[in-house]
Amino acid sequence: MAIELKYAKPKTDGSGLTSQIQRAVGQSLIASLRHKFVICVIVYKNQKKEQEAGEIEKLKKVLQEKHNIYLVIRPLKNS
């Protein structure tokens, strides 16, 4: 099993989560070539542009069913 942990640091304009998801998924796909299961966790600070929940859920389903990649995307909670 491989674990990918990513912190999606917001850019000054508030964007950046989409590109961080793309990068993390690509790295997870590569890891899946050597490992049976991959867990990919992305934690992000508040973004100005929210991702569409339906699209993220579709992506999670495809990654899990076809590649055994489990994608978790969560906002960073302030302490």
| Per-residue pLDDT reduced to its tens digit, 36-58 | 999 999 998 866 556 677 889 99
Fill in the DSSP letter of residue 34.
T
- The per-residue pLDDT for 76 is 84
CA dist., res. 41 & res. 72, Å (int): 5
- The per-residue pLDDT for 77 is 79
Per the listing, tokens 């793309």 go with 22
Model confidence, pTM: 0.81
